[in-house]
Each structure stands twice: as structure tokens, then as C-alpha cells.
Amino acid sequence: MCALKMRPDEVEIDAELVGRLIARQFPDWAGLPVARLESSGTENAMFRLGDDLVVRLPRHPGAVADVEHEQRWLPRLGPLLPAAVPEPVGRGVPGDGFPWAWSVFRWLDGHNPAVDALDDPGTLAGELAAFIGALRGMDPGGGPVGYRGIPLATRDTPTREALAQLTNTVDTDAVTALWEAALRVPGHSGPPVWAHGDLSPGNVLVADGRLSAVIDFGTLGVGDPAVDLIVAWNLLPASARATFRQALGVDDAEWARGRGWALSVSLIQLPYYWTTNPPLAANSRHVIKEILAEAGQASAGGPVHQP
């Protein structure tokens, strides 16, 4: 559970504040129990409201725009997706000392999957691919540019800055070589398509081993769909990656860009959240380890594609 401050501009949010906001702005829900939810999320604080609702509030100024973003796009795209997504049922306004807009969503059953302890990785791989494929098949007209649907090269400076901070923590020579190889991969040449942008274990819900929901659409947008392949390394084991890739029909260049995205995101997250968000830091270390292992398999003549 990450109630620790991860940025200097975060505001204080607790159950008492949420209860006051609900009582003033949504009196029909006043008196429902409010409980903070365990989460490795970095942008929003989440509170369960009664049995059927969840309240989501930005933790810092950079997350405020996500409220309007999700309120606008989730009702349009959600009904067309093969797994549940958050359904907005209320939009709060600043008040009681809280400075920004906030949201109320319907509660979604399920729990975050544990990396390396998936009940049926192959089935989950196919279900994640179906979800991503459904997003990719939607009309991108009028969609916002994805926060991460941009060329991988735009991540070069912050990725190298993170690498400098990780000296003696990871094999920086090997990781730098992998990052530079990713930068040489051809970019996305097709039309922009929808992508979630942040398919991490914390944004995936499972029930009885099956994909039940995908949450946190703050990075949703159109652009290069390769960013959604990060789930192949941050959640799926190596044994399920071929199933995932085949189901999506991903070519070598897109696969390599997705691996580059997974590597960059993890390298930047690791030093930033090392002490303030241990679960996210642990997942970052996991991704780096998986990608290094995959590269070692390729160099030994294994089946991994390295375009």
C-alpha cells in the first residue's frame, strides 16, 4: 500500500476527507463506509465507498487532467471492450480543502495478479491480447495522442539519466546496449491506433485466474500500439509470451519497440520509486531481469527475435 508521498507536490488525502466530500456533493451516498485501498498506483488515491463504489482522487497536479480524460473516454470505449473497465457514476468538484476534480466509479471485482504466481498464464496471455486487439480495432478518429504512443526515441534522455543513477545496481553495460538496440528499430509506420498505455500488474484485475477488468486509463490515447506490449514482460512469464505475441500478430519491429518501452519504463521507475513505492520498484527490477534473461537466450541461439 502506497500512502507515502512520492512527489513533493502531493496533497494529503485520507478517508475522513473523502467522507466529507461525498457527504457534501453526493448526499445519497453519505454515511457509506470509506476505506483506503491498497495500491501501488502513483497518480491517484483510491477509496472503496460502501460495497459498490470506488472514489478516485488525483494525488498531485500532474494527475488532475486524468479525471476529465477518463470521464470522457471510458463511457465511449468501455462498452466495446471484452473485459470490464471503470464506469464513471459521479464527478466531484473541489471542496473541503481538496483542490481538484475527482471521480466516483462502480466497484470492479477482482484482484491484481501476482507476478510469477499466475494460475493460467497462457489463458491470461490470450485474454490480454484480446483486450489490446479490441482497443486497436476501434476507430481512432478524434482520439487524443497517447501519452506513451510516441516514438521510443523521445525516452532517450530520461532513460540514460536513470541508467546513470543505477550504476552498480543493474548491469548498465548490458542494459545500455539493449536500449540502444531498441532505438535502432524502425518506428511505427501505420496509422495511429488506440492503446491503454500503462498495462502494468497494478492496472490488471483477475478473478478465478481469468482477466476480469483493466483499470486506470489516464494514459489512454492513439499512437504507436507497441506500448501495450509492456505487459509481456511486467506480468507474463517467458513461457506465455509467444502465445500473447501470436494472438496479436505482432511483427519483429513492434515486438522490439514494446520490449524497449518495458525497459525504459522500468529503468526510469526504479530509482524514482526505490524507497517510496517498493512494489513498483520490485516490478521494475523484475522487468529488467526478464529482458536481460531474454537477451541472453537470444545470444545463445534461442528463439527470441532481436531485429
Grid coordinates standing for 168? 552498480
Q: What is the pLDDT of residues 38-88, one digit of tens each?
A: 887 788 999 999 999 999 999 999 999 999 999 999 999 999 999 999 999
**May I ask the CATH class of domain 15-106?**
alpha beta
Specify the amino acid at residue 64: V
The answer on pLDDT for 187 being more than 60 is yes
Q: Give me the chain's average pLDDT, please.
A: 93
pLDDT of 299 > 60? The answer is no
Whether the per-residue pLDDT at 300 is higher than 90: the answer is no
> Percent of the chain having pLDDT more than 90?
87
Mean pLDDT of 188-213: 96
What pLDDT, in 10s, does the model give residues 150-163?
Answer: 999 999 999 999 99
Q: What residues contact residue 63 under an 8 Å CB cut-off, 6+ apart?
A: 43, 44, 218
Question: What are the Cα distances from residue 144, in Å, to 55, 76, 104, 133, 199?
Answer: 25, 13, 23, 18, 18
Contact partners, residue 148, CB within 8 Å, separation at least 6: 195, 197, 198, 219, 221, 223, 227, 261
What mean pLDDT is predicted for residues 111-140?
96
pTM, whole model, 2 decimals?
A: 0.93
Band (pLDDT 50/70/90 cuts) for residue 298 is low
Residue 108 has pLDDT above 90, yes or no: yes
Asked if residue 285 has pLDDT above 70, the reply is yes
Task: Give domain limits for the chain.
Answer: 15-106, 121-299
Taking Cα atoms as reference points, which of 259, 222, 186 lies closest to residue 77? 222
pLDDT for 41 equals: 77
Q: Binning pLDDT at 50, 70 and 90, where does residue 2 land?
A: very low
> For residues 183 and 52, is the Cβ–Cβ distance under 8 A?
no
| 264 band by pLDDT with thresholds 50, 70 and 90 | very high
**Chain segment 4-49, per-residue pLDDT in tens:** 676 677 899 999 999 999 999 999 999 999 999 988 778 899 999 9
- Please tell me the CATH code under which domain 121-299 is placed: 3.90.1200.10
